[in-house]
Structures are given as structure tokens and as C-alpha cells.
């Protein structure tokens, strides 16, 4: 049977932007004369037959320029766009003309996905866990740095602060925020900052599920709550509390399989950084129209009664990471400057060969 190859659909605005964007750079004027043709080729593969949009061209351009600026000639990260499971067109939502939604439209969509997210039950959580916990979507061995850069082709549609800012950019923002902070050794152990920096880099890897698994945004994005009425009567411990399922749990399941095992506080920060009850503060639900519900003082009291002494020791680390996760957000199309060599060295220190299964 003859294989039919879909033609690459390049919108007029995208083609105009290719010519514009490839003559500019996000990093101190660095340009690559071969960028234009390579951007079209890479972006079209990532679109998987869908339209080649301005948004996708922007992402490929900024990532290529970022890598060029940091003398990273390894194109494997961009080659991951060729992976059969990867579909950028399915992971970043645009209007019918391939343009980005305005803020009010993104907020309307956020309400829609929260409506589904807030209807998750213990059974929904179990089904999603079974569906994704042991499935290999990319490779049995993939460079963690490449997974991070692949996050450049994902966004969190429920995040009104970041909007279309890539999740790779977000992770670098958090990492840089922590790196620039001094943590006294009197108050923290000697690996606290290093563990926190790693947590910053990998905390949102679970958002790859929208890109490589085509999962419903409601089960990837959003903040989490304890599922109403689900607190166990007997079993204590944070790990036994049924929490809404999203990128936190998916990322945790993938990272928990790494051997040697990552430090428990890093895994906990991945698993619980979106959990509202963890802060110990009441919270008025921003998505009540979408079935959201407040975190009351009674909810917090009941939640805290479930915690063990070990949980309470982990929570300050999680809250530190969460603070930088929230406070460093800047809406931008550009990737912040950072020390890529240091990041790769840090990843290699925690992941054997700097690789893992995903």
C-alpha cells in the first residue's frame, strides 16, 4: 500500500514570521544563517501534518537560538519532535487561523478544563494512574535535558499568569530564581539548595503528557485539591490521601522509577507542588463556576490530621519550591539566559548518565 504523505500547510502569517524571526534571536543578537530552512523543517515535523503556525515557528526559533547561544550543538532535543507520540498541534491550543487566544479566551478555556478536573473522583484517579503509570511514550533511555527542552512545546492552559509561555522557560525561571538565592547552612542542610534547584528543573516534566500522550488538558494542567470526602479513616500519611490527578502525579510516577532513587523531598515536591491544602492556608476557589470549591479551615484541619511526622519534615522543602514556582513567573516568548553546562552537570549527578525512561 502506498503511503500518503500529508502536505505541509504553512500559513501566510507563519511564513512571514519565519523570515522575521529567523533574522533575530532571543540571546544577545546571536543568529544562525541556516536557521530559516531548518526552522521550517523542524516545525513542520513537530506539527505532525497540522498547520505550521507562528506559535510553533516562534518556539523552534527561540529554542534553536538558545542552544546556539550556549554552544549546544546537540540537536537531539529538537529531533524528539520527530517521535511518533509527539504532537505540538494537539498540545498547544490556538484559534482557527493558527493565532494565539487572547487572555479572556484562555481564561474561558481554563474554566472548561477545571470543570472536568473538579469532577475527578477516586475512580477517575485510579483509571488515569493505570493508564499512564507504566507506559513508555518516548524511549527507554532519553536524556533528561532533552525532556526539559521538549517542554518548550508545552503550555499550561490553566495558568493565567504564564499564558503561552513555555514550560521549559518557566522551569528555567524557577531554577534561576533559586540559584540566585542564598540559603544559610544554619537553617538548611548542605544539599538543600542543590536539591531545590533540581526540583525546579523537573517539577513540571509531567506536563509532557499533553504533548506526548494527547491526554485531556483537565488531567494535565490545573491546581489540585484533596478529592472531597475521600480522606481515609485509618491510613495516615500524605501518600495515602486521594488527590486530584494531573501532571504532578504523572511526573512523580515517571521520576520515582529512576534508580538510584531520587531524594524523597525532591520526589515529594514534584508530586505535591500543586496541592492547595499543603500551604495550610484557606483558599477561595477561582473557578467556582467550573465546580471549584474553597479550601476551608475545616479542610485544612482534617488534612493536617492525616499527616505523619515524616510528611511534616518534607513539607517545608515542598513549600520552598512552590514559592519560587509561583513567584518567578514572567510571561515571555524568550528563554532566560542560564548556565546550561551547570544544569547538565546537575542532571548527570542525580540521573545515571543524565538519562531516564519516559
Cβ-based burial of 48 (10 A; exposed 0-12, middle 13-18, buried ≥19): middle
Output the CA torsion sign for 321, 172, 94, 160: positive
- Chunked mean pLDDT (size 10), the chain, 358 residues: 37 47 40 60 79 90 92 80 87 93 95 94 97 93 96 96 97 98 92 98 97 95 95 92 98 97 98 97 76 87 97 98 98 96 98 97
Phi, psi of 333 (to 5 degrees): -95, -10
Please tell me the predicted confidence (pLDDT) of residue 35.
Answer: 53
**Nearest alpha-carbon partner for 151 in 95, 78, 57, 226:** 78
Please tell me the predicted confidence (pLDDT) of residue 183.
Answer: 94
Cβ-based burial of 250 (10 A; exposed 0-12, middle 13-18, buried ≥19): buried
Output the CA torsion sign for 109, 175, 357, 275: negative
Please tell me the predicted confidence (pLDDT) of residue 18.
Answer: 47
Phi, psi of 19 (to 5 degrees): -65, -35
Report helix, strand or coil for 10. Answer: strand
Give the C-alpha separation, 15 to 289, whole Å.
40
Report helix, strand or coil for 83. Answer: coil
Give the C-alpha separation, 53 to 95, whole Å.
11
Quick one: which H or E segment has residue 46?
helix 35-46
- Joined together, the cell numbers standing for residue 322 give 512552590
Give the C-alpha separation, 106 to 112, whole Å.
10
Specify whether the CB–CB gap between 59 and 166 falls below 8 A: yes
Specify whether the CB–CB gap between 249 and 271 falls below 8 A: yes
Please tell me the predicted confidence (pLDDT) of residue 321.
Answer: 98
Chain centroid to CA 323: 16
Residue whose C-alpha cell reads 517542554 in the numeric block: 151
Please tell me the predicted confidence (pLDDT) of residue 289.
Answer: 59
Angle at 212 between CA 151 and CA 243, to 5 degrees: 80
Please tell me the predicted confidence (pLDDT) of residue 290.
Answer: 63
Angle at 10 between CA 9 and CA 16, to 5 degrees: 175
Specify whether the CB–CB gap between 169 and 150 falls below 8 A: no
Give the C-alpha separation, 266 to 259, whole Å.
14
Buried b / exposed e over 12-47, threshold 16 CB at 10 Å, is: eebeebbeebbeebbbeeeebeebbebbbebbbbbb
Please tell me the predicted confidence (pLDDT) of residue 347.
Answer: 98
Angle at 211 between CA 260 and CA 325, to 5 degrees: 65
- For the chain, what is the largest distance between any 2 Cα atoms, rounded to a whole number of angstroms? 69
Phi, psi of 72 (to 5 degrees): -100, 100
Specify whether the CB–CB gap between 56 and 13 falls below 8 A: no
Taking CA atoms, 173 is separated from 80, 176, 237, 326, in Å, by 23, 5, 32, 10
CA dihedral defined by 265, 164, 333, 9, rounded to 10 degrees?
A: 130
Amino acid at each position: 500500500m502506498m503511503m500518503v504523505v500529508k502536505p505541509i500547510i504553512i500559513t501566510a502569517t507563519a511564513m512571514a514570521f519565519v523570515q522575521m524571526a529567523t533574522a533575530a534571536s532571543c540571546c544577545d543578537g546571536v543568529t544562525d544563517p541556516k536557521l530559516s530552512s531548518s526552522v521550517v523543517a523542524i516545525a513542520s515535523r513537530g506539527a505532525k501534518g497540522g498547520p505550521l503556525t507562528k506559535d510553533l515557528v516562534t518556539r523552534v526559533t527561540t529554542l534553536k537560538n538558545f542552544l546556539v547561544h550556549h554552544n549546544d550543538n546537540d540537536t537531539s532535543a529538537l529531533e524528539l519532535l520527530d517521535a511518533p507520540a509527539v504532537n505540538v498541534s494537539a498540545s498547544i491550543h490556538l484559534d482557527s487561523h493558527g493565532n494565539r487566544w487572547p487572555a479572556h479566551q484562555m481564561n474561558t478555556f481554563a474554566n472548561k478544563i477545571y470543570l472536568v478536573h473538579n469532577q475527578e473522583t477516586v475512580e477517575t484517579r485510579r483509571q488515569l494512574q493505570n493508564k499512564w503509570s507504566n507506559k513508555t511514550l518516548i524511549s527507554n533511555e532519553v536524556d533528561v535535558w532533552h525532556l526539559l527542552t521538549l517542554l518548550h512545546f508545552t503550555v499550561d492552559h490553566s495558568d493565567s499568569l504564564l499564558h503561552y509561555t513555555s514550560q521549559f522557560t518557566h522551569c528555567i525561571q524557577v531554577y534561576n530564581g533559586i540559584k540566585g538565592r542564598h540559603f544559610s547552612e544554619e537553617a538548611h542542610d548542605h544539599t538543600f539548595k542543590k536539591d531545590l534547584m533540581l526540583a525546579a528543573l523537573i517539577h513540571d516534566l509531567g506536563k509532557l503528557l499533553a504533548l506526548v500522550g494527547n491526554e485531556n488538558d483537565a488531567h494535565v494542567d490545573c491546581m489540585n485539591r484533596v478529592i472531597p470526602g475521600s480522606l481515609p479513616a485509618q491510613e495516615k500519611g500524605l501518600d495515602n490521601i486521594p488527590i486530584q490527578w494531573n501532571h504532578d502525579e504523572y511526573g512523580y510516577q515517571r521520576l520515582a522509577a529512576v534508580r538510584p532513587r531520587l531524594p524523597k523531598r525532591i520526589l515529594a515536591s514534584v508530586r505535591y507542588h500543586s496541592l492547595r491544602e499543603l500551604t495550610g492556608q484557606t483558599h477561595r476557589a477561582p473557578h467556582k463556576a467550573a465546580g471549584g470549591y474553597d479550601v476551608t479551615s475545616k479542610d485544612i484541619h482534617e488534612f493536617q490530621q492525616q499527616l505523619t511526622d515524616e510528611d511534616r519534615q518534607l513539607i517545608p522543602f515542598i513549600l520552598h519550591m512552590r514559592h519560587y514556582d509561583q513567584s518567578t513567573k514572567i510571561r515571555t516568548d524568550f528563554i532566560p539566559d542560564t548556565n546550561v553546562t551547570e544544569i547538565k552537570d546537575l542532571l548527570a549527578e542525580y540521573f545515571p548518565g543524565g538519562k531516564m525512561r519516559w
